[in-house]
Amino acid sequence: MNNTSINYDAENSYILSNEFVDRMSDKFELTVTHLDLVKAPLEHLKQTEMLAWMIPEAQRNGEQKSLVDLFDNLIKEVQQSDVLVIGLPMYNFGVPSQFKAWMDRIARAGVTFKFTEQGPVGLIANKKVIVLAARGGIYACADNDS
């Protein structure tokens, strides 16, 4: 389960995702891995990290190996999960930057997707992803979500 709420347990997306997992735990035997990207934030993607991914493994220095290992583990968590549950608040018409930083790590060409003549194609098959998104506020001149 992935949390990106800056309001922690007071955020609707956090409450929804926890309630969803709790209800599923009542019906199924689950092993849940929590990833809280606010309490344990990822830095925003940097050039040094992207370059480290592109250097052949045998040629990486210690810093490059550490960078790649850290974020390879995020990809392994996704690959080994049967279902991803993402509690996703919406801030300023978009996803939180914490979520974007995570996506930048798990969307890696040649590892989790590849480019084809028809466009990008995912390399992680048969993965269920449940996104519990929430937003708040008053929307003048706009219909509220129902």
H-only helix segments in 28-124: 47-54, 62-80, 97-106
Interval 113-127: pLDDT, tens: 999 999 999 999 888
pLDDT at 146: 46
C-beta of residue 91 within 8 angstroms of C-beta of residue 97: no
Rounded Cα distance, 54 and 121, in Å: 19
Interval 65-115: pLDDT, tens: 999 998 899 999 999 999 999 988 888 888 899 999 999 999 999 999 999
- CATH fold for the domain made of 2-134: Rossmann fold (3.40.50)
Pairing of strands 35-36, 113-116: unpaired
Domain ranges of the chain: 2-134
pLDDT at 3: 64
96 vs 135, residue with greater confidence: 96
